[in-house]
Structure 1
Amino acid sequence: MNIADIATSDFVAIDADKRLGKVRSIFERENPKGIVVTEGGEYAGIITQKQFVQSHVEDDAKAGAMMRSAPRVERTDDVREVARVLVEGGSKIAPVFEGDKLWGIVTGDAILEAVLDNLDALTVADIYTENVVTVTEDTHVGQAINSLREHGISRVPVVDVDGHLSGMVTTHDIVDVVVRDMTKATRGDRAGEVDRVLDLPVYDVMNSPVATAAMDDSVRDAVERMLDNDYAGLVVTPDGDDRTIAGIVTKTDVLRALTFTEEEHMDVQITNVSLLGTLERGDVRESIEEVVDKYQEMQVQHAHVRFQQHKERLRGTPLIQCQIRLRTNKGQAAGSGEGYGADTAFNVALDKLERNVLERKGIQADEEYRGQLLRKLGEL
């Protein structure tokens, strides 16, 4: 299936010279998935809502100062390849070209709607993410923004003093509070002062109750729930327990699942592939395979490597965070690390992944030994 019938020519476009204040008002009024930025009538880049939360650029700045490049696709490209491009580019929207001419855009939502009937074969347990970043109810909005920025995520579950799920705060919630005219008093009577919004507890801006999904729910059901309610993700909870966080499943997880392949080598997906630098995709795959080979009973079904660049630099080299996540027949395994340059960050993350894999191997060895002892005791 290609995206000829999925892409749309209906999109919001602005000139790169427009003030960011105008862009903010468009997001507030129309809530688009993204805005296309043009220079001289030609495509230049996109601006997403997420960027506003993660940026400190003033409203008087021009749109061109915030726009970012997005992966370009052709109207005849295959849906699976476009899904891969969106995930690896860390984008929810891509400009669609017909030859050299910008024809329109394609969104992750449009792809999910098109493949909905094919998602019954997967369950949430097949694709969800286990390790979840959380904040507490009294975490300040400013701290929540830093957490979103640090981990490169768009939503974070909120837990109460007992660690139970109590709400969800998203980039959209924060944008809504920051850009609106704060004339209505909130807890603490901080109305009307945007500067003080950052001091609000996330309890004041979070959504509650939280939309959840069970492990055995079909991915189709989960995606329908997300699309119908304009959610980007659902908290995954153990069956019959809607207060304990087992993980999270997002639209990006589903798009990533669309790219899974059955190849001779493991399928490695890299988010923000532009940050790879001197690293090659083949080197990344081979390094991960070497780690996995140390636990011979582990078979990797999919590997996801995510790079994120921070502002800090050392002699011109940016600080990079790398996260490696493996989906295997033995569950999920992960490792993360930071370093100056993608290769250093990757090696730190790889080292932590190896320790986690070997620890998993050691746990299994202990269980096998324990089983042998129990069998011997049973024979006495």
Structure 2
Amino acid sequence: MDINNVVTTNYPTTDADSRVSKLTAHFEDPSTRAVVVTDDGEVLGVVTRRQFLSSHRNPDAKVRGLVWHVPSVAPTADVREVAGLMREADSGLLPVEEGGDLVGVVTVDAIVEAVRPALSDISVGAVTTADPITFEPSNTVGEAINRFRTEHISHLPIVENGSPVGVLSLVDVVPFTARKTERTQGGSSGNESTGTGHGGFGSREGDSDRLLDVPVRDFMSTPVVTAEPTDSFGHAVDMMLERDVSSVVVVEDGKVVGIVTTTDLLDALVREAPGRRAVQVYGMDLLDDISYEEVVDLIEGTMKDAPMSLLDAKVHLHEHDETLRGTPLLYARMRLFTDDGRYIASGEGYGASQAIASARDAVRRQLIDDKTYAQSKKKPAPEEKARMRGWTTGEE
């Protein structure tokens, strides 16, 4: 199945020299996964909702500083191939080009609708991210934003006594992401329009800071869309489409045991794609000081004494602007799929070998913790297991 019938020409764009603050209006629309950035009519890349949330940029900075370079695809590209590229690019939107011209975009939501008929035979439990990080209604918006950034997650189930009462997503906290980085001191400075110095009389940046202390119960989405592990994944997708949400909370006996997002669907499509390798490295061009074979050996060595079997592994590499003696700072995210669930960790380093080793060390600590629990036959509490494994609830 190709993507030709799900390509859309209706997508948000912005100029590379626009201010970061102008992205807020785009991302307040829940359907906006990413904004296409252009420069003199040429596509530079995209800004994803996750980047926007974690940028820590001045709202007066230029958008070009946030550009995420993503691959373009052809209208005849297979839907599973596109799903893999979306996971590689960590973006829910990819440009579609034909003959060198931009003809539209394809989104993760369009992929979901395209493959919906083939999902009835897949159970929710087969694609669930287990033991997700959860919050209570009294946790603050500021705490949630920090958790989104540090854990690289996009959804937080809100629970009371283990039962779901709401969901907080990246969309819900967008209004807090493009605000002044410093509180103003008040008083008219005479340079209010410059974006520098102290704000003038009546400046309200502090209002946003105070809102960070508001409990998440005031911003979470309700009612919660739920499913059980034995339910059909197709049914869960139907509910997501019908309610216009990007996640379904998985429950057993009324308690939260997992979450399913559109990202989990992409993972399922990539895992089932024919000809896949056991270890997939996204960003192969960044393997400057380590070979693919060495990455495979490193992961297999990590799993050697683990109390579970490795089914699949993915390593995502992304280059930052910072360098050290000419070597770029790289971000590495490692996702190991085992017969006992998923292990996810990230790391940074100057050069691919250092970044991947950092992520590997974080995964190894999780595996050691699980092996210790297995030997002691003491099962960890769900919140402790989530902390150990660094579970994510999927990406935008």
Q: With structure 1 as the length reference, what TM-score do the two structures score? A: 0.78
Of 197-206 and 133-142, the range deviating more from structure 2: 133-142
Q: Which residue of the partner structure matches residue 109 of structure 1?
A: 109
What is the correspondence of 1:179-328 to structure 2 with a 5 Å cutoff? 193-238=207-252, 241-242=253-254, 244-261=255-272, 267-270=278-281, 278-292=289-303, 294=305, 299-305=309-315, 318=329, 320=331, 322-328=333-339
Structure 1: how far apart are the matches of 2:153 and 2:118?
27
Structure 2: how far apart are the matches of 1:265 and 1:40?
38
Say yes or no: does 1:85 pair with 2:85: yes
Instruction: Work out whether residues 333 and 353 of structure 1, in 8 Å CA contact, stay in contact via their aligned partners in 2.
Output: no
Name the CA shift for 1:116/1:191 in 2 (closer, same or farther; >3 Å).
Answer: same
Structure 1: how far apart are the matches of 2:22 and 2:338?
43
Instruction: Work out whether residues 325 and 334 of structure 1, in 8 Å CA contact, stay in contact via their aligned partners in 2.
Output: yes
Instruction: Work out whether residues 178 and 197 of structure 1, in 8 Å CA contact, stay in contact via their aligned partners in 2.
Output: no
Structure 1: how far apart are the matches of 2:256 and 2:317?
25
Deviation for aligned residue 1:159: 2.7
Q: Which residue of the partner structure matches residue 368 of structure 2?
A: 355
1:336-376 deviations in whole A, cap 9, x for unaligned? 46453313213303533553675587579xxxxxxxxxxxx
Say yes or no: does 1:173 pair with 2:172: yes
Instruction: Supply the AA of the counterpart residue of 1:355.
Output: I
Larger RCO (CA within 8 A; separation ≥ 6): 2
Of 20-29 and 102-111, the range deviating more from structure 2: 20-29
Structure 2 stretches of 5 or more lacking a match? 180-203, 378-396
1:317-339 deviations in whole A, cap 9, x for unaligned? 648564433232xx325364645
Deviation for aligned residue 1:72: 1.8
Structure 1: how far apart are the matches of 2:30 and 2:116?
26
**Aligned length, in residue pairs:** 348
Q: Equivalent residue of 1:120, what SS?
A: coil
Name the CA shift for 1:195/1:336 in 2 (closer, same or farther; >3 Å).
Answer: closer
Q: Which residue of the partner structure matches residue 22 of structure 2?
A: 22
Say yes or no: does 1:342 pair with 2:355: yes
Structure 1: how far apart are the matches of 2:87 and 2:25?
27
Instruction: Work out whether residues 236 and 248 of structure 1, in 8 Å CA contact, stay in contact via their aligned partners in 2.
Output: yes
Deviation for aligned residue 1:29: 6.2
Deviation for aligned residue 1:303: 2.8
Instruction: Work out whether residues 36 and 47 of structure 1, in 8 Å CA contact, stay in contact via their aligned partners in 2.
Output: yes
Deviation for aligned residue 1:33: 3.1
1:274-312 deviations in whole A, cap 9, x for unaligned? 76653444433343334545469x554333445688999
Name the CA shift for 1:24/1:226 in 2 (closer, same or farther; >3 Å).
Answer: same
Instruction: Supply the AA of the counterpart residue of 1:247.
Output: G
What is the correspondence of 1:38-117 to structure 2 with a 5 Å cutoff? 38-117=38-117
Name the CA shift for 1:286/1:99 in 2 (closer, same or farther; >3 Å).
Answer: farther
Deviation for aligned residue 1:57: 2.4
Q: Which residue of the partner structure matches residue 126 of structure 1?
A: 126
Of 345-354 and 247-256, the range deviating more from structure 2: 345-354
Q: Which residue of the partner structure matches residue 341 of structure 2?
A: 332
Name the CA shift for 1:363/1:277 in 2 (closer, same or farther; >3 Å).
Answer: farther
Structure 2: how far apart are the matches of 1:263 and 1:116?
19
Structure 1 stretches of 5 or more lacking a match? 181-189, 365-380
Structure 2: how far apart are the matches of 1:319 and 1:117?
39
Q: Equivalent residue of 1:75, what SS?
A: coil
Instruction: Work out whether residues 304 and 325 of structure 1, in 8 Å CA contact, stay in contact via their aligned partners in 2.
Output: yes
Q: Which residue of the partner structure matches residue 143 of structure 2?
A: 143
Deviation for aligned residue 1:192: 9.3
Structure 1: how far apart are the matches of 2:151 and 2:133?
8
RMSD: 3.5
Name the CA shift for 1:119/1:59 in 2 (closer, same or farther; >3 Å).
Answer: same
1:105-142 deviations in whole A, cap 9, x for unaligned? 11111111111111112111111111312223222211
Q: With structure 2 as the length reference, what TM-score do the two structures score? A: 0.75
Name the CA shift for 1:319/1:104 in 2 (closer, same or farther; >3 Å).
Answer: closer
Name the CA shift for 1:48/1:318 in 2 (closer, same or farther; >3 Å).
Answer: same
